């Protein structure tokens, strides 16, 4: 165990921590204004009421899917955990306006790497909520423990941990 902790300090990408994908306020999925997410139909996870405009990778892995509208992407960690990141509610209707991506499908990313930049002010002006969701669609045998509500910083604040 000591050796494992030393390796994690040397190489934080081996850590079992999932970090905030954006700056904002961490909220329970129960409070999300969309039943697909609040009732955990697609899986459990966390939500962040955004205060910033940059969406980063919550962990090291591979981008396996990117919606053409750039409002959502899928990340697969090396251990098989799959995470769906969905930015905003009903923002697919914007057809990509207000979104700019930095990576393509099959890109290898590290924790904190920029994935999508949004124009939060534009999206909100258009009448859409800018809550970002991180849904664990496949846990691959891991138990995920989620952080509670509070202020979070992208790429820094731990919002979930996983263990076998």
The residues that are catalytic are 86
Which 3 state secondary structure label does DSSP give 14?
Answer: helix
Q: Strands (DSSP E) along the chain, which ranges?
A: 17-19, 24-27, 44-50, 54-56, 61-66, 72-76, 82-87, 99-101, 108-109, 114-118, 131-138, 143-146, 150-152, 158-163
Adjacency order of strands within the sheet including 143-146 = 17-19, 158-163, 143-146
> Hey, what are 27's tokens?
């909220």
Query: 87: exposed, middle or buried (C-beta count within 10 Å: 0-12, 13-18, 19+)?
Result: buried
Contact 67, 99 (CB under 8 A): no
């Amino acid at each position: 165990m000591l050796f494992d902790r030393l390796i994690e300090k040397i190489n934080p990408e081996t850590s079992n921590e999932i970090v905030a994908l954006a700056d904002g306020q961490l909220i329970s999925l129960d409070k999300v204004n969309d039943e697909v997410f609040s009732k955990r139909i697609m899986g459990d996870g966390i939500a962040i009421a955004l205060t910033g405009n940059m969406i980063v990778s919550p962990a090291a892995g591979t981008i396996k899917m990117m919606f053409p509208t750039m409002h959502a992407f899928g990340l697969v960690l090396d251990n098989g955990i799959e995470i769906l990141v969905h930015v905003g509610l009903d923002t697919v209707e914007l057809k990509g306006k207000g979104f700019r991506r930095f990576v393509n499908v099959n890109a290898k990313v590290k924790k904190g790497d920029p994935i999508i930049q949004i124009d939060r002010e534009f999206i909100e002006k258009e009448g859409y909520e800018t809550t970002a969701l991180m849904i664990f669609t496949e846990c691959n045998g891991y138990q995920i423990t989620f952080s509670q509500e509070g202020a979070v910083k992208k790429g820094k604040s731990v919002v979930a941990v996983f263990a076998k």
